[in-house]
């Protein structure tokens, strides 16, 4: 097993999740998120191409997100098979919520083009609300369980990456979960200052993990890699 190749491809997939998700939400979907109601009713700027491009990027996001769990599965299961399976499941569930968000955006785009007579503002507002909750419950909650707690624990126990780096996942995961719950109870605002601050450790963990795996690979002295063959490059 060329575990260093697995590590580096996994790292690339992690970076792809950032490249496809951040511009989509904050740039490509922005015309709708600013005011979905006006957009559906034809009062906002036309952004059909942006929405379509954003949907394509999020489809790539789904593939890369699931890949970050499936590709290293054979290694993670040497640490804990239930843990490895739980991580794959969490990534799939996160992707389901992302897919719901894609459907909402494409539905809004369709209504913009072929809005039936008598369409009221509540339709666009409802679809936008579903998108926001799908984002909150997927990338904003399930991520804390999967990428934060489960992956953080797998990496900490396996020592595939420095344990100091894994700590960010074990800290960031609970913070995102708590933030998601606080949003549900309307204690804090989605995308607000507090919410943003609580996502920083998780974002740092995921981005750092991606770059570490690309440039360093798995630590060759990690006990979990014993018996998997000669590493392709020495790592520390």
pLDDT surpassing 80 at residue 33: yes
DSSP 70-97: HTTHHHHTTT-HHHHHHHHHHHHHHHHH
Mean pLDDT in residue range 167-188: 95
Q: What is the mean pLDDT of the chain?
A: 90
- Angstrom distance (rounded) from CA 170 to CA 95: 21
User: Which two three-digit tokens encode residue 21?
Assistant: 């998700």
Residue 45 or 161, more confident: 161
CA dihedral 110, 183, 61, 160 (to 10 degrees): -170
What residue has token string 């919410």?
195
Q: Is the pLDDT of residue 158 over 60?
A: yes
pLDDT of residue 232: 44
pLDDT confidence bin for 236, thresholds 50/70/90: very low
The answer on pLDDT for 102 being more than 50 is yes
DSSP H helical ranges for 73-162: 73-76, 81-113, 121-137, 143, 151-158
Residue 20 has pLDDT above 70, yes or no: yes
Range of lowest pLDDT (111-115, 165-169, 201-205): 111-115
pLDDT confidence of residue 116: 59
Q: What confidence score (pLDDT) does residue 115 get?
A: 62
- pLDDT for residue 209 is more than 50: yes
pLDDT above 70 (res 117):
no
Best CA proximity match to 161, nearest among 2, 13, 10:
10
> Looking at residue 79, what is its pLDDT?
95
């Amino acid at each position: 097993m060329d575990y260093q190749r697995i590590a580096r491809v996994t790292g690339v997939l992690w970076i792809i999740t950032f490249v496809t998700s951040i511009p989509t939400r904050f740039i490509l979907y922005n015309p709708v998120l600013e005011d979905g109601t006006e957009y559906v009713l034809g009062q906002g700027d036309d952004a059909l191409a942006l929405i379509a491009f954003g949907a394509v990027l999020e489809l790539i996001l789904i593939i890369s997100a699931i890949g970050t769990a499936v590709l290293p599965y054979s290694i993670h299961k040497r640490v804990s098979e239930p843990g490895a399976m739980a991580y794959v499941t969490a990534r799939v569930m996160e992707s389901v919520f992302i897919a719901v968000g894609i459907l909402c955006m494409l539905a809004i785009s369709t209504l913009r083009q072929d809005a039936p007579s008598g369409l009221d503002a509540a339709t666009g507002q409802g679809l936008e609300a579903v998108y926001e909750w799908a984002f909150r419950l997927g990338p904003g909650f399930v991520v804390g369980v999967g990428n934060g707690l489960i992956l953080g624990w797998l990496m900490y126990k396996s020592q595939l990456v420095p344990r100091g780096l894994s700590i960010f996942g074990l800290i960031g995961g609970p913070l995102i979960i708590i933030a998601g719950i606080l949003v549900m109870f309307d204690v804090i605002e989605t995308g607000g200052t507090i919410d943003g601050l609580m996502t920083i450790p998780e974002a740092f963990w995921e981005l750092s993990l991606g770059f570490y795996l690309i440039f360093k690979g798995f630590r060759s002295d990690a006990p979990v890699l014993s018996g998997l063959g000669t590493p392709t490059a020495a790592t520390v």
